Amino acid sequence: MKPEGPLPRHIAIIMDGNGRWASKRDLPRIAGHKAGEVSITEVVRTASDWGLQALTLFAFSTENWNRPKNEVDFLMSFNRNLLRKRIDEFHQRNIRISHFGRREKIPESTLKEIDKAVLLTRENTGMCLNIAFNYGGRAEIIDATIGMSRAIRENPGILQSIDQKSFKSFFYGPDAPDPELLIRTAGEWRISNFLLYQMAETEIYITDTLWPDFRAEHLAEAIREFQRRRGAGV
């Protein structure tokens, strides 16, 4: 099933369609999020097995705080429990976990699991799994600008050497390569404030498949489309 030929180094995924998946089955929205756990686990395993350098999953955006409180509370516990259940497996797979996003507003219990996963896997040398949680592309650019401003105040001499590479050093994941492929499920044609700075040259692949139905074969098809585009020089 693994596509032949060069794979993208870094794939980013907007995991969309959980609510619609649940609505089609007359289930509450949280049932769709629960069903999406299978897709998350399979995609992480597959991407790691295929040797991707990085995988970034958009788990919770800065805009998601506007959702109903019961859904927000569920997503906090869902992501906390998912890490708790899968961290040993991911660690054994030599996956390194990183957190992209702001820490404020995240419940202490969820932050604890995120920090535990980051600390446990920080020496791993396999695929980097970036969890974009309480993440927004605009917020990241603002935070990077604030961080750069502080650095300039402390050392004004660096101002003349600021370029794209040094600016990116203030981002949440400064060492992550820019994503070569963005996958968005559920047929939506938006980037939704995701990795705005990093996606200047990213290929975008949209699939109608809802996230809870997304499996390794869908990931393979997205990669083959990426390969076709790059092969054609698009």
Count other C-beta atoms under 10 Å from residue 141's C-beta: 15
Q: Which of 36, 12, 10, 14 is nearest to 187 (CA)?
A: 14
* Catalytic entry in 16, 18, 130, 134: 16
Catalytic status, residue 163 = no
**Tokens found for residue 13:** 């995924």
Catalytic status, residue 64 = yes
* Catalytic entry in 18, 26, 49, 64: 64
**Residue positions annotated with a catalytic role:** 16, 64
